[in-house]
Amino acid sequence: YQRMLAVLKDEPAVSADGVHVTMLANVELPTDTEEAGQVGAEGVGLYRTEFLFMNREESPSEEEQLEAYRQVLAAVDGPITIRTLDAGADKQLGRTSKIATNPALGLRAIRLCLKETGLFRTQLRALLRASAEGPMRIMLPMISTVGEMRQARHLIDEVGKELKRENIPFDENLAVGAMIEVPAAALAAPTLARYCDFFSLGTNDLIQYTLAIDRIDDEINYLYDPLHPAVLTLIRMTIEAGKAAGISVSMCGEMASDKRYTALLLGLGLTEFSMHPASVLEVKRAVMGADVARLRQRASEILALTDVAAYREALDALGREIA
Task: Give me the helix-helix angle, 117-130 and 146-165, nearest 10°.
Answer: 60
Tell me the window of 13-21, 68-76, 200-208, 296-304 that interacts with ligand PEP (CB under 6 A).
200-208
Answer yes or no: is 83 a known binding residue: yes
* 8 vs 176 by CB, closer to ligand PEP: 176
47 within 8 A of 73, measured Cβ to Cβ: no
114 within 8 A of 107, measured Cβ to Cβ: no
**In the window 69-98, what residues touch ligand PEP (CB under 6 A)?**
86
- Per CB under 6 A, the list member of 171, 181, 197, 321 interacting with ligand PEP is 181
205 binds Mg ion (CB under 5 A): yes
Tell me the window of 69-77, 198-206, 228-236, 294-302 that interacts with ligand PEP (CB under 6 A).
198-206
248 binds ligand PEP (CB under 6 A): no
Measured in whole angstroms, how far is the alpha carbon of residue 230 from the centre of its chain?
A: 19
168 within 8 A of 126, measured Cβ to Cβ: no
* 86 vs 272 by CB, closer to ligand PEP: 86
* Residue 252 touches which member of ligand PEP, Mg ion, none, C-beta under 5-8 Å by kind: ligand PEP
276 binds ligand PEP (CB under 6 A): no
- Per CB under 6 A, the list member of 25, 48, 60, 178 interacting with ligand PEP is 48
Answer yes or no: is 48 a known binding residue: yes
Answer yes or no: is 64 a known binding residue: no
Q: In angstroms, give the least distance from the CB of 211 to Mg ion.
A: 15
Q: In angstroms, give the least distance from the CB of 141 to Mg ion.
A: 6
Extended strands (E) in the chain: 22-27, 44-48, 80-83, 136-140, 175-180, 198-201, 248-251, 272-275
Extended strands (E) in 36-158: 44-48, 80-83, 136-140
What is the CB neighbour count within 10 angstroms for residue 323? 16
203 binds ligand PEP (CB under 6 A): yes
What is the CB neighbour count within 10 angstroms for residue 20? 10
User: What single string gives the DSSP state of each residue in 63-82?
Assistant: HHHHHHHHHHHHHSSS-EEE
DSSP tag of 102 = S
* Residue 148 touches which member of Mg ion, ligand PEP, none, C-beta under 5-8 Å by kind: none
Answer yes or no: is 205 a known binding residue: yes
* 143 vs 175 by CB, closer to ligand PEP: 143
Q: State the Cα–Cα distance between residues 181 and 73, nearest whole angstrom.
A: 26
**In the window 152-181, what residues touch Mg ion (CB under 5 A)?**
181
202 binds ligand PEP (CB under 6 A): yes
Site map 204..243 versus ligand PEP, x via CB under 6 A: xx--------------------------------------
| Through-space distance between the first and last CA atoms of the chain, rounded to whole angstroms | 13
Q: In angstroms, give the least distance from the CB of 204 to Mg ion.
A: 5
**Catalytic residue numbers?**
252
- Per CB under 6 A, the list member of 24, 87, 241, 252 interacting with ligand PEP is 252
Kindly tell me the burial class for residue 191, based on how many C-beta atoms sit within 10 Å of its own C-beta (0-12, 13-18, 19 or more).
middle
CA atoms 180, 186, 189, 195: torsion sign: negative
Q: To 5 degrees, how large is the angle CA 121–CA 108–CA 170? A: 25
Binding-site residue ranges: 48, 83, 181, 204-205, 215
Binding residues (CB under 5 A) for Mg ion: these are 181, 202, 205
Binding residues for Mg(2+): 181, 205
Binding-site ranges for ligand PEP (CB under 6 A): 46, 48, 86, 181, 202-205, 252-253
